[in-house]
Structure 1
Amino acid sequence: MIVDKLSNAPRYFSLHPLFEQAFRFLQDADLTALPIGKQAIVGKELFAIISDGIGIPEQDAKLEVHRKYIDIQYIVSGTDRMGWKDLAQCGAPSEPYQEERDAAFFPDKTRSWFDVPAGSFTVFYPDDAHAAMVTEDKVRKIVLKIAVE
């Protein structure tokens, strides 16, 4: 897992062949004008999911993991409170992995909570169980999905 500011994105370009293109999208696009929903960038290998809304209470948060995609979650406005737990420390999933959703959910709770303000991003790999949108703030965010392979 990584938490940083978009201004530091070049530090991460070498971590994946599509990271530079993903971060350039965040730097070049008018993120406040993008419509809510999914936007293709490089077919199924790199796409964006744009959302705008209020989060959920901490007690309702579920940890999730993905197998096929790495998440870069960029906060455009507001502050997103997120949680993290190493997948290896999670118990059995409450909702087993579904390939069409590329997600499994866990009943585990985490004590690793952190605030991600506007202008910052997180990177969650497949072994990072994470919960996002645990906030009462209105948050506009872009989740970039980058194919693992």
Structure 2
Amino acid sequence: MIIDDITNYQRYQELDDLARALEIMYDIYQSKNFPTDNQELSARSKINSVSFMSRLPGEDEQFENHRQWLDIHFIFNGSEEILVGSASQMEVQQAYDQSQDIEFLRGTETVKVTLEAGQFLICYPGEAHCVGVSGNPEQAVPISKLVGKIKMTD
């Protein structure tokens, strides 16, 4: 797991696909124009644009886990709390779907991270994460984010 500010994107230059995705996210953030379409960067990387209304803490805290792709959760607008825990310590709720590279789990987080606009979190395969929780415990808030996907296995 990596937590950082988008202005530090150059720290990751030696990781080609990751560096490219972070640089594109940085450019989008600097432009202040949230994209409405998804971007295929290569066969091993892509960026999805997502806008939604968050949910309050405690509401349907279902974790997702990936086995082949890492996720970059970059907050463009709003505040999101993301819960992270070890997939191996959780109970499977929905079996792994290889075509979508996702399984849904229930369990307890080991880390709660609140991301504000301009910040990102990287979750590697095996790091189950529960997304979409409001960064404001009193009310649901609108969130716009970019989700980068980098393939880690063949």
> Under a length normalisation based on structure 2, what TM-score does the superposition of the two structures give?
0.86
> 1:137: how far off?
1.3
Q: Distance between the aligned counterparts of 1:55 and 1:100, measured in 2?
A: 27
Partner residue of 2:137? none
Q: Any runs of at least 4 consecutive aligned residues in structure 1 with deviations exceeding 6 A, and if so which?
A: none
- Residues 1-149 of structure 1: pairs in structure 2 closer than 5 A: 1-14=1-14, 16-29=15-28, 30=31, 32-35=33-36, 37-42=37-42, 44-59=43-58, 60-90=60-90, 92-110=91-109, 112-135=111-134, 136-149=140-153
3-state DSSP class of the match of 2:13? Answer: helix
Letter aligned with residue 47 of structure 1:
K
CA RMSD of aligned residues (A): 1.6
Number of positions where the alignment pairs a residue of Structure 1 with one of Structure 2:
145
Q: Distance between the aligned counterparts of 1:31 and 1:20, measured in 2?
A: 20
Check whether the contact 1:32–1:76 (CA below 8 A) recurs between aligned residues. no
> Under a length normalisation based on structure 1, what TM-score does the superposition of the two structures give?
0.88
Letter aligned with residue 101 of structure 1:
Q
3-state DSSP class of the match of 1:48? Answer: strand
Letter aligned with residue 144 of structure 2:
R
Q: Distance between the aligned counterparts of 2:32 and 2:95, measured in 1?
A: 33
Letter aligned with residue 119 of structure 2:
S
> 1:39: how far off?
2.0
Q: Distance between the aligned counterparts of 1:108 and 1:65, measured in 2?
A: 12
Unaligned runs of at least 5 residues, structure 2: 135-139
Q: Deviations over 1:78-122 (max 9, x none)?
A: 0011101022322x3111110122111111132522210000000
Q: Distance between the aligned counterparts of 2:44 and 2:84, measured in 1?
A: 24
Q: Distance between the aligned counterparts of 2:74 and 2:128, measured in 1?
A: 17
Q: Distance between the aligned counterparts of 1:48 and 1:131, measured in 2?
A: 19
